[in-house]
Structure formats: structure tokens, C-alpha cells
Chains A and B, each alone.
Chain A
């Protein structure tokens, strides 16, 4: 009984947030709807006794990634509602609608035509012995060690690349030749050499 209620509420939050991401015109509101979705999923994880995944979901996705989204949105100042009449890609909208309908129909078709096989789901077949943190750790450092290390290497490469791209070189900048507009009444200082 409790599980059903929890699932229903969490599912409502997840779907409501997902709808909000698409329907909200203000990018900040859309990002917050995404947070609501992530929270709902974290609750679903807890309901499945995957406490560690729930915590990581909140810390990594809600706590770091969406904060980064918000940073970009706020600092780039795209906090105004976008003009939806302008269509940057011609014919994008009808194609999107057609694809959406197709995928939706496909999902309905799969659910409608499939039958209950009675075979337990993968999570049912999973043997639970001990804490989920220890289990995930053991899997990561034994069976999936290669994928784990490759991923960490990828992240290091990405960080190094980002630092290299963001580094400002001393001396004249690339766009130093451009004229800087001077506002009326503004004092122009002599450039120091």
C-alpha cells in the first residue's frame, strides 16, 4: 500500500517535471523542472532500496550538473523567454511532431502486444547480500574495472582540454584589434604599455 502511494507521488513528480522542462518558456523554470524530475527518480531509487544511487542522483545530477546549467543560463543572460515564432531550422517542428508520434505509438504498441512471461525482472534475479554501496564498489572494481578506468581517463582528458582552451595567453588578445565602443560621458584612459 505504502509502496503504491510512494510510487504514484514520485511518478507524478517525475512526469510533471518532465512536462515542465518542455513546456516552461523561461529556461530557469525549465531547469528547475528538471531538478523536480531528478528528485522524483531519487525517491523511486529509495523505494527500490537503492539508497546509494538515490544519494548519488541528488549529489551529482541535482547538486552539480543542473547547478552548472543554471550558472550558464544566469551568466549568459538567457533568462528571457525565447521567441518561439522564429524557427532556426526550417521544417524542424513537423518532423519533431511526426517522430514523437511515431515513438509514442511504438511504445504503446510494445506494451499492448507483449504478454506477461512470468520471468522475474533483472533486479529480482539480483542476489542482494550486504550493503548496496559495497556491491556497487565491488562490481566497479572487478567486472567493470576497464570501463571505469577508461571513463576516468576520459574525464581527465576533458578537464585538461578545458583548462587548455580557457587559458588566456599573456600579450595581445585575438580580438584586441576590435574597436571598443565608448559610451557618451565615459572617460577614456590611456593604455599602459
Chain B
């Protein structure tokens, strides 16, 4: 009977029956709730850990250990007056918070949050008699979806600042979008190394390629991970790269004029992005849910390992915030364009050379060394050229003056 009902065809598509639709619906609801709950938790966690790191108590009033502090703050947001400035562009002012929040939600859809990847298994589980991944969607271009969503999130911040019709938000928005667009390049280039090693763009495939401890962290040689981590922190606008909301200079940055629910959406998106970006780091470089299965069902252990790894990075982002002072804007731009992007490009070339050598059966030690030497030689020539040009310009000036 149940099988009969589950085989119904609600979409009239022919090959998609009710069971498939139910599985997708279930996964959507679970993913959505999981993300919201983790955001609630993350806000509390951040405040508590920063409190500890600064020898304070942190929130400790609402609920045990102050756990319900975020819920209380969230409710307060909803009670506040919702205001739109007089000179604001109303339609875009209303639209902008959603442009930030929705991509933050969508990215989480391609993160594998569990599943058994040991012994060549591909991390599938059975729900309603259907085999499915423990991730909402596994598009063949999953990694590109992550990049696309992070490039759409720029719109929310940019338009929020512009549509407020006020100076400080506009300055904050211009800074924010310049920062995010610049660091997207470094982010993308370090992802390319991972894609090159895994041979696939699907997040599930990338996790599967890292089972049996061949984590991309050391397979790609550590450097892409460091670049990704720095670029991700900048992309998240978190300290030490939180110039977007540098209070001393910009009042509050792009969201100065926002209040109530709309501000809550920005706030939500920021913390959701932190959670998803940590999840992306775990997926790309730390094997996602893969890990040893000592006892019991493997898919459960996948979720456990994933959560443990996620925690490390959530803590690390909070640690950054409590420890590092904010960098200056020109330092930020110099770091992005003059250090991270050339480094990511050079490393990509070396990894690509190594892969080609691997296919051709060349010596796996000589190829990277020669590649690194070639890249270093190119860099040296470039530096030499720059110095010569600078000297020529200075001489030119002296003659002209």
C-alpha cells in the first residue's frame, strides 16, 4: 500500500514519483533547520568564546550558559520599528537584505554533511527505499555554484549601501564590494587546485576523492589551503578584514540605515556565511565527512566527523576575531592582488605540472622542484623588470626637473 502511494506522480513528470519528491522535501527542511539552528548556536558560541578569550563571562542570563541569548536577541529584532530612510531607494532598499540572505542559504545545499565514504563507498544512504546523498543537491558543477553564490552576495551588500541614500553606507558598500570582488579571484584560483586534484567539480566527488586520508590539505600542498583560508576570511568580511563595518570610520558600514527584520537578515546572512564557509573548507581540504568508522553505522560517523571538523574552523574564525587587529585598506588590497593571486597562480602551475608528470610517469620529485624553480625564475625576472622600470622613471624625473 505504502509503496503504491509512494509511487504516485505528483509532478506529472513521468519518472519522478512521490518518494523522490518527499526525500527532496525532507532534505530541504532538514538542511534549512540545521543551518538556522547552527546560526543561533554560532552567535552564542562566538560571544561566549570571545568572552572567555577576553576574561569576561559573556552571555549568561537567558537559559543555561546563556544559550537562549540569541533567541532573545532575535525576538527583539522583530519587535523593533522597521524604518526606511527618506532618501532611500525604497524598492532596492527592501530587496537588498534578501539578496544577501538567499545565496547564503543556497550554498549550504551542496555541502555533504554526512555519509560513509570509507572503503570506496560513495556516501549514499537509504530513505524511503531510495538511495540518496546526505546533501540537499549534488549538481555536477557544485563548486562553481559556491563561487556563483558568493559573487551574487556582493549585490546585496553593494545595493544595501547604495540604496540607503546616505554617505557612510555608500562608502562601506564600495569598500565591501571591491574587497569581495578582489578576493574572489584568489578564492577561485585556490579552488582550481582542488578541482584539478579531484578531477571533478561536484562536491560529493571531491569528498569521495579524499577518502582514505588523502586529504586535499596535503595532496595540494598546504599553500592553497592557506590562500583559501585568508581569502575566505576576507570574503566573509570577518576580522581582521572587517573593513566593511569599520565602526571608527564608517559608523556601521553598508547596513547603517537598516533596522529591525531587515538588519536581522544581514546579521543572519553573515553568520550563515561563516558556517557555510567553514563547511566549504572542510569539504574542499579536510575530506568532509570522511573518517574512521570504529563502531555502528558509517553514515552517522560521517556526520560526527563533519561536525567535529566544522567546529575547529568555527572556533578558528572566532579566534581570529579575538586576536588580530584590523588591517588597513591599502594593506588589504596589496595582500589580495600582489601576494595571494600571484601565489595562487604560481602554485596552480606547479600542481598542474605535477599532474601532467604523474600521467606521463615522470619523476614525482624532480617535476615540482623544476616547476618551482621555473616559477621563481619568472618572478625574479618580473621583479628585475619592475626595478629597472622604477629606476628609469626616477632618472626621467631627475632629468625633467
Contact = CB atoms under 8 A, between A and B. Distances in A.
Interface in A141-183: 170-171
B191 to A, nearest CB: 12
Interface in B138-170: 139-141, 144-145, 147-148, 151-152, 154-155, 158-159, 162, 170
Chain B binding surface, main DSSP class: helix
Main secondary structure of the interface of A (DSSP, over half): helix
B174 A74 contact: yes
B154 A1 contact: no
Contacts of A35: 155
Contacts of A71: 174, 177
Contacts of B144: 52, 55-56, 59
B17 interface: no
B365 interface: no
A51 B92 contact: no
Given A28-B162, A74-B174, A131 B140 contact: yes
B89 interface: yes
What range describes how many residues of A lie at the interface? 20 to 34
B181 A67 contact: yes
Contacts of A70: 155, 158-159, 162
A35 B141 CA distance: 21
A152 to B, nearest CB: 14
Contacts of B91: 29
Given A2-B13, A51-B140, A51-B141, A63 B397 contact: no
B1 interface: no
Contact of A63 (B11, B16, B141, B154): B154
Interface string A6-36: 0000000000000000000010110010010
B227 to A, nearest CB: 19
Nearest to A42: B148
A67 B141 contact: no
Contacts of A133: 140-141, 201
Interface in B80-127: 89, 91-92
Closest 6 interchain pairs by CB?
Answer: A63-B151, A55-B144, A58-B148, A1-B12, A51-B141, A55-B141
Interface of A: 1-2, 26, 28-29, 32, 35, 51-52, 54-56, 58-59, 62-64, 67, 70-71, 74-75, 79, 131-133, 170-171
Given A55-B147, A74-B174, 5 more contacts: A51-B139, A52-B201, A58-B151, A70-B159, A133-B201
18 contacts: A28-B162, A32-B159, A35-B155, A51-B141, A52-B140, A52-B144, A62-B148, A63-B147, A63-B148, A64-B151, A64-B181, A67-B151, A67-B158, A74-B173, A75-B174, A133-B141, A133-B201, A171-B401
